């Protein structure tokens, strides 16, 4: 597949399946947008592993294939996959964050285990290793490796985005008999797993969701306290923070019930929120 076709594949894939991040790419130049789309399309490929395999061993094989594909890419050999071909255009920049790619792949092995995280710390480690590391890769795609300060902001924004997303994805994961709510929180609240797996909301589930949402708000607050020193041309990947605000407000309106059907949409406000924050030079 030619480079342009590979890029078009990634752009369309991200537009349809990760629209939030797609919106943030619209505030970059064409070259940056194309490479960010490749990065986010790669993330979609590895993030869907658990839902596309019938057993954990097959999932590990799939993740290993992507790990080997990246190793070959860094050496100048590109496998015949449109995502890897699209990543090739930014190989020199992305090679500097190769450890971030590998950390994401390692963390995705957790998705193959049906056991929930033991506690909030374990859940935040997972969020850091997936969502925050992806932000660091996105920053590298903009042309320079993230510095220590940018990594701190990425950690807070990434964890907040992941926590909020995992709350909203409770019904999706429950259908697959997978749980990401911290086990100790569920035990204290008296959450019945049968309720979750039968797609039934409860005050107990909502209570756990509320605590996670409040933690996401804390991370966003900390990110914004550090945000002033982020240069304007490096802010695009962080614009998801504004979308996170919308999701958190929707959760609050739904009394933190993950099974409320109104949570499935942002009611058309997402693009407006991203554009407004970008114009104001904030996230």
| Mean pLDDT in order along the chain per 10 residues (283 residues) | 82 95 94 97 97 93 97 96 96 96 97 94 98 98 95 98 96 93 95 89 95 98 90 92 92 94 68 69 72
Query: How far apart are the C-alpha atoms of 159 and 222, rounded to whole Å?
Result: 11
Question: How many of the other CB atoms lie within 10 Å of CB of 210?
Answer: 17
Stated as kind and residue range, the H or E segment containing 174 is helix 170-175
Please spell the DSSP secondary structure of 140-152, one letter per residue. HHTTS---HHHHH
Domain boundaries, the chain: 1-113, 114-283
pLDDT of 229 reads 81
pLDDT of 278 reads 64
Nearest to 80 by CA among 63, 94, 65, 92: 65
Query: How far apart are the C-alpha atoms of 146 and 72, rounded to whole Å?
Result: 23
Query: How far apart are the C-alpha atoms of 277 and 274, rounded to whole Å?
Result: 5
Query: How far apart are the C-alpha atoms of 151 and 250, rounded to whole Å?
Result: 28
pLDDT of 263 reads 81
pLDDT of 74 reads 97
* pTM: predicted TM-score of the whole model, two decimal places: 0.94
Q: 155 by DSSP, 3-state: which? A: helix
114-283: CATH class: mainly alpha
Query: How far apart are the C-alpha atoms of 104 and 77, rounded to whole Å?
Result: 21
Residue 160 near residue 124, CB atoms below 8 Å: no
pLDDT of 268 reads 57
């Amino acid at each position: 597949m030619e480079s342009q076709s590979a890029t078009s594949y990634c752009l369309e894939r991200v537009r349809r399946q990760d629209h939030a991040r797609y919106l943030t790419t619209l505030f970059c130049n064409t070259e940056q947008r194309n490479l960010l789309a490749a990065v986010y399309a790669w993330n979609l490929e590895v993030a869907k592993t658990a839902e596309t395999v019938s057993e954990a061993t097959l999932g590990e094989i799939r993740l290993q294939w992507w790990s080997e594909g990246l190793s070959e890419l860094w050496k100048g050999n590109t496998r015949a996959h449109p995502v890897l071909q699209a990543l090739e255009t930014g190989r020199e920049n992305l090679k500097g964050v190769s450890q971030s790619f590998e950390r994401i792949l390692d963390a995705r092995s957790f998705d193959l285990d049906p056991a929930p995280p033991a506690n909030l710390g374990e859940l935040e480690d997972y969020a850091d290793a997936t969502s925050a590391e992806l932000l660091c890769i996105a920053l590298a795609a903009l042309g320079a490796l993230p510095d220590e300060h940018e990594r701190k902001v990425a950690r807070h924004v990434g964890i907040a985005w992941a926590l909020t997303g995992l709350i909203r994805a409770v019904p999706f994961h429950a259908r697959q008999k997978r749980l990401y709510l911290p086990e100790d929180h569920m035990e204290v609240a008296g959450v019945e797993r049968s309720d979750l797996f039968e797609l039934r909301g409860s005050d107990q589930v909502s209570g756990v969701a509320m605590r996670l949402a409040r933690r996401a708000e804390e991370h966003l607050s900390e990110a914004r306290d550090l945000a002033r020193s982020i240069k304007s041309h490096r802010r695009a990947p962080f614009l998801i923070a504004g979308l996170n605000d919308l999701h958190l407000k929707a959760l609050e309106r739904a009394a933190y019930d993950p099974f409320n059907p109104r949570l499935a949409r942002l009611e058309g406000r997402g693009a407006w929120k991203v554009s407004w924050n970008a114009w104001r030079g904030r996230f």
